[in-house]
């Protein structure tokens, strides 16, 4: 199978490309390095011992994208990672987010249609469940009520995909709703590289542990959770990447369907669980202080991960210890 991966040099994209290559799939990658580095390409080749085609283009540039489809008539399916993903930034720059994520996806889907490529895997997010649903989140729950433009782009694209499938059910579409991906490949050659001061928990923790940031601010310890801090479903990025392989394989085997899967572990860990496990596994101290709740945060959510298990035969295998160890390993190898 030959897979076009947009945004393949990014955090989740690069880990997925490794797993696709490890499963003997052919990869054609697009990236404009707007949030990644060219070195990632070499590191993927080092990890897998395999080569792939690469185009340095913006996926929303219709003319350049068409060139990729023309030059690669063997493309069977597309996995789309080319989206902006910083929640806070999306509040400041909503137009940029809607243009890149929504218009970009439309250009990609329209080009796929033109070249008769109709297998599409989309990186969605648990954020589409909004604030109202009970936990654990199940795929059949109502979506909506997103609290920032980033989340709304995911919601809009999910709706666009449902409408496309309704109009033409020869499409095969998998919408993957990610929970909280952390960790990195065990080689330490690829990982997460947030620009500036990180907003997400694990990238912040590793920078405190290595002394680049002074202390972690824990956003609230008065939530109705086991220890008062926020609870999330953290998933190892390599497990997440393997979920994509299972999804594209399903689309390749079965004809005509729109499938939605949660990719999570089904287990909720609190901020303090993460800090304590990280300290234990790495022998590093993570000084922290408790501060006000962060606006827009909800107390607790985690996945019901049964559907992916039953239909894809996929299950997250790595533990929280693995996630902490591998997140730290990447920092030790790359930033210190």
Candidates 204, 261, 269, 314; binder of ligand UDP (CB under 6 A) is 204
74 Cβ contact list (under 8 Å, min separation 6): 2, 26
Candidates 35, 80, 180, 282; binder of ligand UDP (CB under 6 A) is 180
> Judged by CB, which is closer to ligand UDP: 216, or 303?
216
The yes-or-no answer on residue 115 being catalytic is no
Candidates 42, 297, 317, 321; binder of ligand UDP (CB under 6 A) is 297
Give residue number: closest CB to ligand UDP: 230
Please pick, among 55, 59, 137, 150, the residue that the annotation labels catalytic.
Answer: 150
Q: At what angle do helices 104-114 and 62-71 cross, to 10 degrees?
A: 40
Of the listed pieces 64-72, 194-202, 239-247, 316-324, which binds ligand UDP according to CB under 6 A? 194-202
Q: Is the dihedral of CA 189, 191, 194, 198 positive or negative?
A: negative
Interface positions, 232-251, toward ligand UDP (CB under 6 A): 232
Candidates 271, 308, 320, 324; binder of ligand UDP (CB under 6 A) is 271
Answer yes or no whether residue 65 interacts with ligand UDP by CB under 6 A: no
For the chain, helix (H) and strand (E) counts, in that order, are 12, 13
> Judged by CB, which is closer to ligand UDP: 53, or 294?
294
Q: In the chain, where do the E strands start and end?
A: 2-6, 26-31, 53-56, 77-80, 119-125, 172-178, 180-182, 216-219, 231-232, 234-236, 257-263, 269-270, 288-291
Answer yes or no whether residue 218 interacts with ligand UDP by CB under 6 A: yes
**Token pair in block for residue 146:** 């997103």
Answer yes or no whether residue 200 interacts with ligand UDP by CB under 6 A: yes
| CA 300 to the chain's CA centroid | 19
Positions annotated as catalytic residues are: 150
């Amino acid at each position: 199978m030959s897979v076009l991966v947009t945004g393949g040099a990014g955090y989740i994209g690069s880990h997925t490309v490794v797993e696709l290559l490890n499963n003997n799939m052919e990869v054609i990658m697009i990236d404009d390095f707007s949030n990644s580095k060219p070195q990632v390409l070499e590191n993927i080749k080092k990890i897998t011992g395999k080569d792939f085609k690469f185009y340095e283009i913006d996926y929303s540039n219709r003319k350049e994208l068409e060139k990729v489809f023309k030059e690669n008539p063997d493309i069977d399916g597309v996995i789309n990672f080319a989206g902006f993903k910083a929640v806070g930034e999306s509040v400041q720059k909503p137009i940029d987010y809607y243009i890149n994520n929504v218009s970009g996806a439309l250009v990609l889907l329209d080009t796929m249609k033109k070249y008769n490529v109709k297998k599409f895997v989309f990186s969605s997010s648990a954020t589409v469940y909004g604030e109202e649903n009970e936990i654990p989140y199940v795929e059949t729950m109502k979506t909506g009520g997103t609290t920032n433009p980033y989340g709304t782009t995911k919601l809009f694209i999910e709706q666009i995909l449902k409408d496309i499938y309704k109009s033409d059910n020869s499409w095969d579409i998998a919408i993957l709703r990610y929970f909280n991906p952390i960790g990195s490949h065990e080689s330490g050659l690829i990982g997460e590289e947030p620009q500036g001061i990180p907003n997400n928990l694990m990238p912040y923790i590793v920078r405190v542990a290595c002394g680049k940031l002074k202390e972690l601010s824990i956003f609230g310890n008065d939530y109705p959770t086991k220890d008062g801090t926020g609870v999330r479903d953290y998933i190892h990025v390599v497990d997440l990447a393997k979920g994509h392989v299972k999804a594209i394989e399903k689309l390749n085997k079965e004809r005509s369907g729109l499938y939605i899967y949660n990719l999570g572990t089904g287990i909720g860990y609190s901020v303090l669980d993460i800090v304590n496990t990280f300290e234990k596994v790495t022998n590093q101290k993570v000084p922290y202080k408790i501060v006000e709740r962060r606006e827009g945060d909800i107390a607790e959510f985690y996945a019901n991960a049964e559907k992916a298990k039953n239909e894809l035969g996929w299950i997250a295998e790595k533990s929280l210890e693995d996630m902490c160890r591998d997140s730290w390993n990447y920092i030790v190898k790359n930033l210190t």
